[in-house]
Amino acid sequence: MSQTTRLRLTSLFFVIIFATLVLSVQLPVPKYHRLPSLRQQAKIQDAWRQERINNVIPALLNKYNIDLWIVSQREYAGDTVFWSLKPATTFAARRRTLQIFERVTQKRLWGLLQQSTTVRVHTLVDNTDQIWSDLRSAVDAANPKTIVLNIDSDIAFADGLHAGEREAIELALGEHNLAKVTREPRLAVELIETRVKAMIQPYKEVMETVHAMITEAFSDDVIVPHVTTTEDVVWWFRERIQAQNMTTWFQPIVDVFRRGDDSTKPNEAEGTVRVILPGDILWCDVGVVAYGLATDTQHLGYVLRDGEDEVPEGIHEGLRSYANVMQDIVKEEIKVERTGNEILASSLERINEKGITGTVYSHPIGDWGHSAGPLIGMVNLQESIPGKGDLKVIPNSWFSVELQALVPIPEWDGQVVPFRLEEDIYVDETGANHWVYRRQEEMHIVDWQSKDVTLVAQE
């Protein structure tokens, strides 16, 4: 073999290696994850619940110097906090269910008289007046300096005590104990907001499943232009979610943005049924519930026109240079100890500096779709939000980075289209935040041109 041939073969070898490496760094196609059996899911959820009781509640009682926390409800009139504290196999409060969390501080002689805090849980279930005598006995035995009831005029997660229930509890406590009652909304808020570390891996798998669903929905497997409607895709999502043994916390939304539309107003066209056409920009909003955890995801897609083999550059740039940039900014601004209002203000300032017109309406997520914690703007409120916007980011919390960028598309004669994205992040114990799975950086593409549209329409 000549020297020239060897050099050529060596060069070819390195070209092949380089090409293999380039292909290997391409993002994998998201895949569906099968949930474990209901029995196994219940074990997983109950382990999370126990960790909250053993670790999260004592830490919060210490943080806010609370000795006793009372959570009380009747069947079908549950306190919001109840749903974050109940066993997985409990579907509603029984009769009257009363939970008392008592802070117990123990001093240890070793380690320079360190103190450890645990929680003593009293659970009372009854439908007679005996429950009030038992409550009074438990409170008197604890002799607390401070008692918290879930009452708050601004934050729903801290206002779960029904009016009649409050009257009964106050009567049972007596004047001596009633004088110790205080309000601390952050106790309920942060209990619901705090994520147990073991939740993140199952949540990642659920998020990847959502991505897999959207990838399938926004493809020629589901959409045939001139035939498929937005409502068809909505109900496809509902059936697909159900088939994964998941549920949803809102009806999925699918809409299109089309050349010639006036679609600059947020959520203007929601609920309108439209036939999907070539050249449409697709948008969906999907939120599933699995393991008792909610997701919230918005993605964009594009239906190729006849003869097109790729997405117009102006539409790709709308995703990358507008919406993705806004996501980066908001994600970077979500920092521990900052309020939602502070994050909103700094995010909008940076977004405006980039010359982007957009709206930020991000929110906590977890036990609920719109969960407990600091609000970062709302669709119609791009200024400070009293109460909920004044809450601070804490470690081990999750957020949906939800926003829209108003994008002028050159190929559509400069028509402005709202690019709405939403992706979930988690803030870890160090305060760093991460995408739960990943965020959308390429448009989903419906390449339908190999389909016989006439045949499908007849079917």
Task: Assess whether 186 and 203 both reside in one domain.
Answer: no
370/457: higher pLDDT: 370
The pLDDT of residue 459 is: 37
Question: Does 2 reside within a domain?
Answer: no
CA dihedral of 24, 27, 30, 31, whole degrees rounded to 10: 10
Q: What pLDDT is stored for residue 156 in this prediction?
A: 93
- Residue 10: CB atoms within 10 A of its CB come to 10
Residues 221 and 353 in one domain: yes
Phi and psi based region of residue 448 (left: phi greater than 0; alpha: psi -120 to 50; beta: remaining): alpha
Q: By three-state DSSP, how is residue 25 classified?
A: coil
Q: Looking at residues 417-437, what average pLDDT do you find?
A: 96
| β-pair partners for 289 | 247, 294
- Asked whether 202 and 84 are in contact (CB, 8 A), the reply is no
CA 60-61-65 angle, to 5 degrees, is 120
Helices and strands (H and E) in the chain: how many: 14, 17
Domain final position from 173, 192, 211: 192
Residue 422 within a domain = yes
Q: Under DSSP, is residue 440 helix (H, G, I), strand (E, B) or coil?
A: coil
Number of other residues whose CB lies within 10 A of the CB of residue 9: 11
Of the pLDDT bands very low, low, confident and very high (cuts 50, 70, 90), residue 30 is very high
- Tell me the C-alpha distance between 241 and 237, whole Å: 6
Q: Is residue 248 part of a domain?
A: yes
Residue 234 included in any domain: yes
Q: Are residues 184 and 221 in the same domain?
A: no
Per-residue pLDDT of 143-152, as tens digits, reads: 999 999 999 9
CA angle (447 as vertex; 444, 452 as ends), nearest 5 = 145
Q: How confident is the model at residue 2 (pLDDT cuts 50, 70, 90)?
A: low
The domain tally of the chain equals: 2
pLDDT-derived band at 453 (thresholds 50, 70, 90) equals low
Domain encompassing residue 233: 195-458
> How many whole angstroms separate alpha carbon 265 and alpha carbon 279?
21
| pLDDT (tens digit per residue) in 11-28 | 544 434 443 433 345 678
My answer on whether 233 and 162 are in the same domain is no
Do residues 173 and 223 both lie within one domain?
no
Q: Say yes or no: 311 and 448 in one domain.
A: yes
Please give the pLDDT value at position 452.
60
Task: Tell whether 301 is covered by a domain.
Answer: yes
User: Can you give the CATH number for the domain in which 412 is found?
Assistant: 3.90.230.10
Report if residue 8 sits inside a domain. no
* Residue 5 confidence (pLDDT) above 90: no
In degrees to the nearest 10, what's the CA dihedral of 82, 88, 94, 98?
A: -40
Same domain for 225 and 183, yes or no, is no
- Residues 396, 306, single domain; the answer is yes
By the 8 A CB rule, do 356 and 325 touch?
yes
266 vs 408, more confident: 408
* pLDDT value for 264: 56
Q: Of 456 and 276, which is predicted with more confidence?
A: 276
Domain membership flag for residue 32: no
Give mean pLDDT, residues 329-349. Answer: 97
The residue count for the chain: 459
Backbone φ and ψ for 363, nearest 5 degrees, come out as -155, 155
Is 183 found in the same domain as 200? Answer: no
What CA–CA distance (Å, rounded) separates 257 from 266?
12
For residues 123-150, average pLDDT:
95
Where is the domain boundary, 143, 160, 192?
Answer: 192
Pairing of strands 444-446, 297-303: parallel
Instruction: Assess whether 444 and 345 both reside in one domain.
Output: yes
Beta strands in 75-202 (DSSP E): 96-107, 115-126, 147-149, 181-182
3-state helix, strand, coil in the chain (%, to 5): 40, 25, 35
pLDDT, average across residues 322-337: 97
How far is 206 from 247, CA to CA, in rounded Å?
A: 12
- Residue whose pair of structure tokens reads 């804490």 in the numeric block: 394
- Coil vs helix vs strand at 191: helix
Tokens representing residue 279 in the block: 């050249």
What band does 261 get if pLDDT is binned at 50, 70 and 90?
A: confident
Give percent of the chain with pLDDT exceeding 70.
88
Residue 269 has pLDDT above 60, yes or no: no
- Per-residue pLDDT for 174 more than 60? yes
What was the pLDDT predicted at 20?
41
Task: Grade residue 393 by pLDDT with cuts at 50, 70 and 90.
Answer: very high
pLDDT at 314: 96
Show which of 128, 162, 192 is a domain's final residue: 192
| Six-digit token string for 357 | 């017109």
Residues 407, 318: contact at Cβ < 8 Å? Answer: yes
The reply to whether 16 falls in a domain is no
pLDDT tops 90 at residue 35:
yes
> In this structure, are 202 and 345 located in the same domain?
yes
* Cα end-to-end span (Å), the chain: 62
Structure confidence at residue 110 (pLDDT): 59
- How does the average pLDDT of the chain come out, rounded? 90
Q: Which residues pair with 424 in a beta bridge?
A: 400
Mean pLDDT, residues 354-368: 97
Question: What is the CATH number for 163?
Answer: 3.40.350
The stretch 244-259 carries a mean pLDDT of 96
**If pLDDT is split at 50, 70 and 90, which confidence band does 9 have?**
very low
Mean pLDDT of all residues in 196-200: 96
Q: Rounded CA gap, 95 and 358, in Å?
A: 49
Q: Which of 197, 154, 193, 158 is nearest to 393 (CA)?
A: 193
The CA-CA-CA angle for residues 391, 49, 394, to 5°, reads 20
User: What pTM was computed for the model?
Assistant: 0.88
According to the model, what pLDDT value does residue 114 have?
Answer: 61
What are the angstrom distances between the C-alpha of 106 and each of 63, 187, 235?
16, 22, 56
186-195 per-position pLDDT tens digit: 999 999 999 9
Which pLDDT value is given to residue 3? Answer: 57
Which residue in the block uniquely carries the two structure tokens 């980075």? 401
Question: Per-residue confidence at 456, pLDDT binned at 50, 70, 90?
Answer: very low
| pLDDT tens figures, 372-389 | 999 999 999 899 999 999
Q: For the segment 46-67, what is each residue's pLDDT rounded down to a tens digit?
A: 999 999 999 999 999 999 999 9
Confidence of residue 112 (pLDDT cuts 50, 70, 90): low
Q: Are 78 and 104 in the same domain? A: yes
Residue 315 C-beta-side C-alpha neighbours within 13 Å? 22
With a cut of 60, say whether residue 102 has pLDDT above it: yes
Nearest Cα to 297, choosing from 243, 341, 253?
A: 253
